[in-house]
Structure 1
Amino acid sequence: MNTSIKQLKVFVAVAQSRSFAEASERVHLSQPAISIALKRLEESVGGALFARTSRQLTLTPEGEAFLPVALRLLSDWNEAFEDLGEQFSKQRGKVAVAALPTLAAGVLPDVFKCFHETYPRINLSLHDVLAEQINQMVREGRADFGLSVDPQQTDDLSFEPIWVDRYVAVFPEGHVFGLQTHIEWAQLGDHPFIGINRLSSSRQDIDRTMASVGVTLDILCDASQIATVGRMVAAGLGISVLPALSFRQIAAAGIDHRPLISPDLPRELGIVVSRRHPLSSAARTLFELIHAGDDDSWQASDTRFH
């Protein structure tokens, strides 16, 4: 069956007006073109939809039954293209982002606010999860893209670096570390340590670095949430190591920090996208907005950590 949308429009126009002349004006076709379109539609469906007499044009029973169906099909057609147009113009749609907690709290609030003010009908979804979960969500299409560390040795994901973060030693105010401008990684072994989630990319960096300097951490306990680590440090239970960007989440009375050196350990962060799932128009716009945020103002705001 080769029924076209043009034939449906012609059928509805003639059925509603019962006049080739009026239908011609509605659909902007000549009367011969309307006659040909109806003929081809009737050939396609296998029977007459109109009963034609010299004085009157009426619907056959089959035509009467088909009219509401044709109206619904045209409505669905129009709605489908309106929806598609709204998605391309960012008037509606949704974007899901998976991000490391440090980036979710430190970068995305301002970006989401700006995006929402410009595209208020786009639904935004944020998943603040660990790096491996980010990779899996992007890989499976459950997140349009991720903000994370480089997912190395993966053929199905690509990574575009945007920020460089570094690690800082975090300690309670009044701690001996406050007398120094920098802290060496090897010094961390002399104090009770509050660890962060063992599955996190940050914890894996910390463990590798401590192994490289030949020092074992005196881990008092591990906490899953950065905010929890901050509160435990503020309470005087121990020190910790966190990405500099995450200090925005825990900065409060009772906590201080210093950059870590020997070795200097830059932490490259950026956008993770799937090579198999192209970004929607809305997701691409948010992607570009985040990328545009890689400016001097962001870097300057974090020079105290570097």
Structure 2
Amino acid sequence: MTIKQLRAFVAVAETLSFAEACSRVHLSQPALSLAIKSLEESVGGRLFSRTTRSLALTPDGEAFLPVAQRLVADWDDAQEDLHNRFKLRRGKVAIAAMPSFAANLLPQALRNFRQLHTNINMEVHDVIAEQVVEMVSKGRVELGISFDPGPQEDLNFITLFDDEFIAVLPDGHELQHCDVIEGEQLFSYDFITLQRPSSVRLLIERRASEMGLMPKTAFDTHQLATVGRMVATGLGVSAVPALCRQQMEEIGAICRPLRNPVISRRVGILSRRRSGLSVAAEAMQQVLIDTYRQTL
């Protein structure tokens, strides 16, 4: 049973005229007759009762007509839906982004995308970097924005920019006058950082250890926003990705460049290597590239 045969059957059943049905489905009468005959052979019985003067549906044909009409309508709806998706007139993009990116930079890209594709819905998951990698790997989202996770067999990574960590101080701190803060200075104060196994924390500790230093961790928490608020209230100091600068300053913390060690990580777009992207996700990926490679 083919969609061509179903269309032919519905056209003949609704008009009870081969001539009118030919015009509706754009087939010649021999081609239409062959389509009906092939359909009847495939289902194993007659759907029409024919005489030289009349054409009518058999009882089995009457029972099959609403089913055939629904199948043709579903086929047409499916074609229209796919057409709209490929033309970016319908669809959804699911993105996972680490909080530092989601809160500070992602809204601009979402705005740019919405201006181009007003009918595409966007779903944003604000999760830690490690969860971004997991969600993309498991196919729960098509795109992820995170730090470079290193070689991953099933993931692609497109670099957007390199992000250097900055020192974060409470207002009025004695290091506030410094144009650049050395790691040896920063790590001598009570240090506030993310909880293990955060990749941000592990990177800070590894780079500090390479220089014979170790942060004096006094508090750890789950979110960088919480780190910033704890610093702003005077509980200690911290080091965070520079893309959090605006968020830290809005909270009331003071930000300064950090040197010795310089801590840097690549930020970019993650996607699954094997499954590819939908048309809408490809468009979102290009907007992300255009927005942040030019801006940063």
- TM tier relative to shorter chain: over 0.9
**Is the Cα contact below 8 Å between 1:185 and 1:213 reproduced in 2?**
no
Q: Which residue of 2 aligns with 1:128?
A: 126
Q: Which residue of 1 aligns with 2:214?
A: 216
Q: Separation in 1 of the partners of 2:60 and 2:130?
A: 59
Deviation of 1:258 (Å): 0.8
Q: What SS does structure 2 have at the residue aligned with 1:84?
A: helix
Segment of structure 1 superposing worse, 189-198 or 103-112? 189-198
Q: Which residue of 2 aligns with 1:87?
A: 85
Q: Write out per-residue CA displacement over residues 80-132 of structure 1, whole angstroms, 9 at most, x where no aligned residue.
A: 11111111112222111111111111221111122223323322111222222
**Is the Cα contact below 8 Å between 1:130 and 1:199 reproduced in 2?**
no
Q: Separation in 2 of the partners of 1:18 and 1:149?
A: 65
- 1:1-306 alignment runs, 5 A limit: 3-252=1-250, 254-296=252-294, 298-299=295-296
Q: Write out per-residue CA displacement over residues 33-88 of structure 1, whole angstroms, 9 at most, x where no aligned residue.
A: 21111111111111111111121100011110111111011011001111111111
Q: Separation in 1 of the partners of 2:176 and 2:84?
A: 55
**Is the Cα contact below 8 Å between 2:228 and 2:251 reproduced in 1?**
no
Segment of structure 1 superposing worse, 197-206 or 116-125? 116-125
Q: Which amino acid is 2:247 matched to?
A: Q
Q: Separation in 1 of the partners of 2:158 and 2:185?
A: 34
Q: Which amino acid is 2:71 matched to?
A: L
**Is the Cα contact below 8 Å between 2:248 and 2:254 reproduced in 1?**
no
5+ long unaligned stretches in structure 2? none
Segment of structure 1 superposing worse, 139-148 or 252-261? 252-261
Q: What SS does structure 1 have at the residue aligned with 2:288?
A: helix
Q: Return the TM-score normalized by structure 1.
A: 0.92
Q: Write out per-residue CA displacement over residues 145-177 of structure 1, whole angstroms, 9 at most, x where no aligned residue.
A: 211122223211121111111111100122121
**Is the Cα contact below 8 Å between 1:92 and 1:121 reproduced in 2?**
yes
Deviation of 1:253 (Å): 6.5
Q: What SS does structure 2 have at the residue aligned with 1:164?
A: strand
Segment of structure 1 superposing worse, 114-123 or 196-205? 114-123
Q: Separation in 2 of the partners of 1:72 and 1:246?
A: 54
5+ long unaligned stretches in structure 1? 300-306
Q: Which residue of 2 aligns with 1:303?
A: none
Q: Separation in 2 of the partners of 1:181 and 1:293?
A: 30
Rate the CA distance shift 1:253–1:281 in 2: closer, same or farther, 3 A: closer
Rate the CA distance shift 1:254–1:119 in 2: closer, same or farther, 3 A: closer
CA root-mean-square deviation: 1.5
Q: Return the TM-score normalized by structure 2.
A: 0.95
Q: Which amino acid is 1:24 matched to?
A: C
Q: Separation in 2 of the partners of 1:278 and 1:257?
A: 40
Q: Separation in 1 of the partners of 2:143 and 2:253?
A: 34
Q: What SS does structure 2 have at the residue aligned with 1:178?
A: coil
How many residue pairs are counted as aligned between the two chains? 296
Deviation of 1:232 (Å): 1.4
Q: Separation in 2 of the partners of 1:7 and 1:102?
A: 56
Q: What SS does structure 2 have at the residue aligned with 1:294?
A: helix
Deviation of 1:295 (Å): 3.7
Q: Separation in 2 of the partners of 1:150 and 1:253?
A: 27
